[in-house]
Structure 1
Amino acid sequence: MATFVLVHGGGHGGWCYRSVAQILRGAGHEVHTPTLTGLGERAHLLHPGVDLDTHIGDIDGVLRYEDLTDVILVGHSYGGMVITGAADRAPNRVGQLVYLDAATPVNGQSLVDVAGDIMAAARLDSRVVDGVELVLHPFAEAGMFYGVTDPEVLAWMADRLTPHPWRCFEQALDLRNEAELWALPQSHIVCSSTVPSRDPELVAAARTAGRFFEIDTGHDLMITEPRAVADALMQVASA
């Protein structure tokens, strides 16, 4: 059985993987769904210093303190930045990387570099609260921004989404063990709508390797299509 660490994206928390985690655990896998500092149930820990390095340290800490090895490290959206950095910090603990409709950065890139137009739009509604510039502020139907349309699910999300510190998005990734990092197998589970905007060489290589999974749903595919996501993750594990 495999060990999964599922890392959420901007404004979310470990809660967003609830259904996927249930399916994976039901199949006998070990699953961790940490929440990054300053978000979700850890929103009370928000402070002006929270940035990408903070979140990389969060996941590095989970890998080390839970003494995990051969981990399938999964990152959604902004979580692609985080898992890349965490795998670079502890490549001996990671067996595979899975980018879940996620950013796929290289050394020196920030999320602003990777997804400039989207991040510029997000910053239009930025607000400074207690010295922290925050974006992705939740509102009644914020889940629709992530491709969710079911009214019950939208209500569930509205109670859980939290604003995200902007510093996380503008800080560049600082990789230190690139040879080991890029030697790790990578898989990509993406929404059909985002395929045209992705690096065609990366997509072609992943397809050729049998490590590309396309799901026709919105950006929060772990919420809208948990069974399809879990099935794809189990295929990654079996490979």
Structure 2
Amino acid sequence: MLIHGGGDVGWSWHLVAAELRRRGHEVVAPDLPGDESATFTDYADAVIDAVGNRDGLVVVGHSFGGYTAPLVADRLGADLLVLVAAMIPAPGESPADWGRTTGYAEAVRAAAARDGGLTGSSDPYVGFLHDVPRPLADEAMRRSREHPSPAGRTEPWPLEAWPAIPTRFVLCTEDRCFPPDFLRKLAVDRLGIVPDEIAAGHCVALSRPTELAELLDSYR
């Protein structure tokens, strides 16, 4: 089960999905609801509806999908939960508060000072898609949309604790959205996990799909 991030759709996983299917896996990567009132429950419901009666589930969340993936994994009793360049929420912490409570904003400013403003750039081709082949980057921009909803940005994360499910974290060493040093520390502080690393930007599913699929397959 592949869960996309903010501003994205299930298409963002299509290259990774093809690689995983070639390795014998069944893959589902739905579009999450785009309406303005959608909540975390709505996002999780959409994913669970797409899963159907499948078992032996591995739930993978990218970026903002780090808020939804643990909810799905918890409700379905997944075998494994994987976060890819993802936000790691704490109980009761809304996405709107996450930047302040984690020190994210300060980390972006520090990284931008070092790299001349590449980190945190408002140009998506610079801040997110810089290592994605241009035709794919253009298609990603064509498919982009407003997501999550205003409700989803301000809703407190509803779990009381991280689900008791084996969890892995994939860090992208060239990420200009979530600075690598920041995510390394957050993964250790919040999950007790030392991340696995891929030399890629934030949109690793489009820039390094084979490498990401190989890593996901190795976890299974």
Q: TM-score, normalised by structure 2?
A: 0.79
Identical residues among aligned pairs (%): 25
Name the residue aligned to 1:146: 128
Alignment counterpart, residue 183 of structure 2, candidates 178, 194, 198: 198
**Structure 1: gaps spanning 5 or more residues:** 39-45, 122-138
Q: In structure 2, which of residues 56, 69, 72 is the aligned counterpart of residue 70 of structure 1?
A: 56
Q: SS in structure 2 opposite 1:29?
A: coil
Partner of 2:138: 155
| Cα pair 1:52 1:169 within 8 Å, conserved | no
Counterpart Cα distance in 1 of 2:184 and 2:93:
15
Deviations 1:101-140 (A, max 9, x none): 001112111222323466xx9xxxxxxxxxxxxxxxxx9x
Q: CA deviation at 1:146?
A: 1.4
Q: Equivalences for 1:182-193 in 2 at 5 Å? A: 182-192=163-173, 193=175
1:113-128 alignment runs, 5 A limit: 113-116=97-100
Instruction: Name the amino acid aligned to 2:65.
Output: G
Asked if 1 retains the 8 angstrom alpha-carbon contact of 2:5 and 2:62, the reply is: yes
Listed one character per residue, the Cα deviations across residues 27-58 of structure 1 (whole Å, up to 9, x for unaligned) are 111111111011xxxxxxx2x32122211221
Query: 1:99 Cα shift?
Result: 0.3
The answer to whether residue 203 in structure 2 is matched with residue 220 in structure 1 is: yes
1:98 corresponds to which of 70, 82, 87: 82
2:25 and 2:130 map into 1 onto residues whose CA distance is 27
1:231 & 1:59 partners in 2: Cα distance?
23
How many residues are aligned here? 194
Measured in 1, the distance between the counterparts of 2:184 and 2:216 equals 22
1:168 equivalent in alignment to 2:156: no
Whether contact under 8 Å (1:142, 1:154) holds in the other structure is no
**Kindly tell me: are residues 29 and 146 of structure 1, through their superposed partners in 2, closer, same or farther at Cα, counting changes over 3 Å?**
same
Task: Give, as a single letter, the amino acid of the residue that structure 2 aligns with 1:70.
Answer: G
- SS of residue matched to 1:198: helix
State yes or no: 1:35 paired with 2:31. yes
Alpha-carbon contact 1:59-1:86 (below 8 Å) kept: yes
Q: 1:58 aligns with which of 25, 46, 56?
A: 46
Greater relative contact order (CA < 8 Å, ≥ 6 in sequence): 2
TM value normalised by structure 1? 0.73
The C-alpha deviation readout for 1:190-213, integer Å capped at 9, x for no partner, is: 111433102637348433xxxx32
Match of 1:41 in 2: none
Post-superposition Cα deviations, 1:65-117, rounded to whole Å, max 9, x if no partner, equal x11222110000000000112223332xx111000000111211122232346
Amino acid in the other structure paired with 2:67 = M
Q: Is the 8 A contact 1:144 1:154 kept in 2?
A: no
Structure 2: gaps of 5 or more residues: 109-121
1 or 2, which has the higher strand percentage? Answer: 1
Task: Please say if residues 61 and 86 of structure 2, whose CA atoms lie closer than 8 Å, have aligned partners that are also in contact.
Answer: yes
Matched with 2:111 is none
> Match for residue 19 of structure 2?
23
Per-residue deviation, 1:155: 1.6
> How far apart, in 1, do the equivalents of 2:186 and 2:153 lie?
25
The residue type equivalent to 1:163 in the other structure is E
1:143 deviates by 4.2
- Match of 2:157, SS? coil
